[in-house]
Amino acid sequence: MVWLAVVLIVAWLLGWVVFKVAGGLIHILLVIAVIVFLYNLLTGRRSV
């Protein structure tokens, strides 16, 4: 029973860290996408 609790706590901690990192990466990718979109809009390039 103690091993089950230890496994659950470790899984919870790993999930917490992974989701924090993934959330940060998603925000960075969104910012990059907006910058690229604005650059293409302002320079007048049309992508087909």
- In this predicted structure, what is the pLDDT of residue 35? 92
- In this predicted structure, what is the pLDDT of residue 47? 58
Q: pTM for this one?
A: 0.55
Reduce the secondary structure of 2-45 to three states and give it as a string. HHHHHHHHHHHHHHHHHHHHHHHHHHHHHHHHHHHHHHHHHHCC
Distance CA 25, CA 31 (A): 10
- In this predicted structure, what is the pLDDT of residue 3? 85
Q: What is the pLDDT of residues 1-48, one digit of tens each?
A: 788 888 888 888 888 888 777 777 788 888 899 898 888 888 886 655
